[in-house]
Amino acid sequence: MKYFKNHVRRALGRMKVSGDGKLLGRLLSFVVNTPAFRVWPRALIAAQIAGTAEEAKALLQRLAGMGLGEMLPGKRKDEIIFQGRPDLDEVAKQFG
C-alpha cells in the first residue's frame, strides 16, 4: 500500500509542474552541465530549449534576474553570454 501512495504522490507532483516550470528545469540542468556554467544563446537553440535567439536571450536574462548568474558581453557587439554563479549546481538542486 505504501508503494502506491508514494507512486501517486510522485505522479501528481509531476503533473502539477507547469510547462514553464519544466522549461526552467531543463534550462537549469543544461547550464549546470556546461563547462564553467557559461552558456551562449546559440547553445540553447541547438539543445532545443529555445526556438529563436530572442527567446534564448530572454531565458538567460530571466536566470540572471533570479540571481543565478550574470549577463556578460561577448566578442561581437550583439553577442551575450550567461555566466552562472560559482555555486549554481548547489542552488539548482533546490529547484528540483
Is the pTM for the entire model greater than 0.85? no
Residues 45 and 26: their CA atoms lie apart, in Å, by 13
Band (pLDDT 50/70/90 cuts) for residue 49 is very high
Q: What does the pLDDT look like over 65-94, one tens digit per residue?
A: 988 999 999 888 778 889 998 888 887 777
**Whether 31 contacts 56, CB under 8 Å:** no
- Which sequence spans correspond to the domains of the chain? 2-95
Can you read off the three cell numbers belonging to residue 84?
552562472
Taking residues 29-42, what's their average pLDDT? 90
Which CATH architecture does the domain made up of 2-95 adopt? Orthogonal Bundle (1.10)
Can you read off the three cell numbers belonging to residue 95?
529547484
